[in-house]
Amino acid sequence: MTATGYEPLNVLKPVADRIWIIDGAPVTVMGFPFPTRATVIQLENDDLWVHSPTPLTTDLRDALAVLGPVRHLIAPNQFHFLHIPEWAEAYPDAAFWSAPGTHERAAKLGIGLPKGQELKRCAAEAHWNGQIDQLFVRGSRTHKEMIFHHKASTTTILTDLIEAFETDKLPARCRPFVWLNGIDDSDGKTPPLIRWTFRDKVAFAEDIETIVGWGARRVIIAHGRWYERNGTAELERAFRKLLGPRQWDRAMRDMKARERKDDPR
């Protein structure tokens, strides 16, 4: 197994009460080893909700059994479904939930996914309503990603909308690619190839503002360093170029409104 720098792999790592991450083996795309990360949430009834599953090992399966039954498998976008089949086989009673376009892309790659349900755009599913918020981010022609927020731990969970690779954990040959794309850990953000697909910047910005408004203490991402603190500030930083013009416009409107109020005429 290729080292990722996030060892030990395939083990539950606590984040806060009732939420864990699992750092998984890298997935190689065009020679680039993407470190991977799953998130596990224990719902109030002790059912387990698994976001972007990584490889399922025997030891991991034993550790999950201590927490509760795996009941929900989440494919948060049309790229993060590779290990869904093995989890679905291991947990035949688990429901499969996916972002739009997931089944279609899996079929093109010859990967059979279990039957399941498409996640709602902004209304939490009944199974986790009141515990996990969800939002499908609009604006892209091709990228379909669901964002989640675990309310009890104030943890927001993204997949590919922010990538923050720690270059010292990557092979030297991969580091220039990360630097040129501006997705190194010093300033993690949306990769250009994904960002360029968002043609409707207004819808994109509106949804990111909603996500920022959740008030995250932590932000978990699938690739690279996740943010254990200052989550809201990290979101504002990562999306500053998108949100900046809207913040400026609001500031100008507020200033003009104050001027009108103070005008004695």
Instruction: Give the model's pLDDT for residue 30.
Output: 80
Summary mean pLDDT of the chain? 93
Q: What is the mean pLDDT of residues 131-156?
A: 97
| Residue of higher predicted confidence among 29 and 10 | 10
pTM: 0.92
Number of domains in the chain: 1
By mean pLDDT, which of 2-6, 150-154, 230-234 is the weakest?
2-6
Structural element, H or E, at residue 240: helix 240-262
Q: pLDDT at residue 188 above 90? A: yes
Instruction: Give the model's pLDDT for residue 249.
Output: 58
By mean pLDDT, which of 23-27, 96-100, 257-261 is the weakest?
257-261
Whether 145 is in a domain gets the answer: yes
Structural element, H or E, at residue 29: strand 19-29
| Residue of higher predicted confidence among 127 and 261 | 127
**Cα(216)–Cα(261) distance, integer angstroms:** 35
Instruction: Give the model's pLDDT for residue 120.
Output: 92
What whole-number percentage of the chain has pLDDT above 70? 92
Whether 4 is in a domain gets the answer: no
Per-residue pLDDT tens digits for 66-79? 999 999 999 999 99
Whether 44 is in a domain gets the answer: yes
Cα dihedral 168, 155, 90, 69, rounded to 10, equals 140
Q: pLDDT at residue 252 above 60? A: no
Q: How confident is the model at residue 178 (pLDDT cuts 50, 70, 90)?
A: very high
Instruction: Give the model's pLDDT for residue 213.
Output: 97
Range of the domain at 93: 12-262
**Cα(22)–Cα(54) distance, integer angstroms:** 7
Query: Domain holding 32: CATH number?
Result: 3.60.15.10
Q: What is the mean pLDDT of residues 208-233?
A: 98
Whether 209 is in a domain gets the answer: yes
Whether 3 is in a domain gets the answer: no
Whether 6 is in a domain gets the answer: no
Instruction: Give the model's pLDDT for residue 256.
Output: 59
Whether 1 is in a domain gets the answer: no
Whether 107 is in a domain gets the answer: yes
